[in-house]
């Protein structure tokens, strides 16, 4: 059986995240911090085991503590500014990669949609079996 290989990059291509295998979790987050971080109405990310991820290129880091106390370290390209990946402090064995950085329109649907209480009224996350949290 072939192992799925995916490649995520920033806009200029300097920062690259190569992922082997399938993600263990795909989610969208509607919290206000993710809206600001992504520059969109929500953020979509796929989490991969850290030992299946290879990161090349340089990144700058920015850390924050979320509304429920969990922390994350975000990595973005120092050249073009794209946020490509991040790590949750409480999940050190996983790397969350921005789904848009894969530029793969056929990427699998999310398993989770969180902070739906902050979701824009005109946004609808569709698919079967998606767990939803307010």
pLDDT of residue 93: 97
Q: Which residue has the tokens 């064995």?
A: 93
What per-residue confidence (pLDDT) applies to 27? Answer: 98
Residue 66 confidence (pLDDT): 73
pLDDT, residue 68, reads 73
Write down all domains in the chain, each with its CATH number in brackets: 5-132 (2.170.150.70)
> Residue 130: which residues within 8 A CB-CB, separation 6 or more?
109, 110, 111, 112, 113
Query: What pLDDT is stored for residue 69 in this prediction?
Result: 76
Q: What global pTM score does this model have?
A: 0.93
Closest CA to 118 of 35, 40, 46, 37: 35
**Looking at residue 130, what DSSP letter applies?**
-
Give, for all 134 residues of the chain, the pLDDT tens digit. 566 899 999 999 999 999 999 999 999 999 999 999 999 999 999 999 999 999 999 999 999 887 777 899 999 999 999 999 999 999 999 999 999 999 999 999 999 999 999 999 999 999 999 999 99
Cα–Cα distance, 76 to 109 (Å, whole number): 24
In DSSP terms, 76 is beta-bridged to: 60, 83
């Amino acid at each position: 059986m072939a192992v799925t290989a995916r490649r995520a990059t920033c806009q200029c291509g300097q920062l690259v995240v190569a992922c082997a295998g399938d993600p263990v979790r795909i989610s969208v987050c509607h919290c206000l911090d993710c809206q600001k971080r992504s520059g969109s109405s929500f953020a979509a990310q796929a989490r991969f085991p850290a030992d299946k991820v290879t990161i090349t290129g340089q990144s700058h880091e920015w850390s924050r503590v979320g509304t429920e106390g969990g922390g994350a370290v975000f990595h973005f390209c120092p050249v073009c500014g794209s946020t490509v990946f991040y790590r949750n402090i409480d999940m050190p064995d996983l790397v969350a990669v921005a789904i848009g950085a894969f530029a793969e329109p056929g990427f699998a649907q999310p398993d989770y949609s969180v902070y739906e209480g902050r979701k824009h009224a005109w946004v609808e996350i569709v698919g079967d079996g998606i767990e939803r949290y307010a």
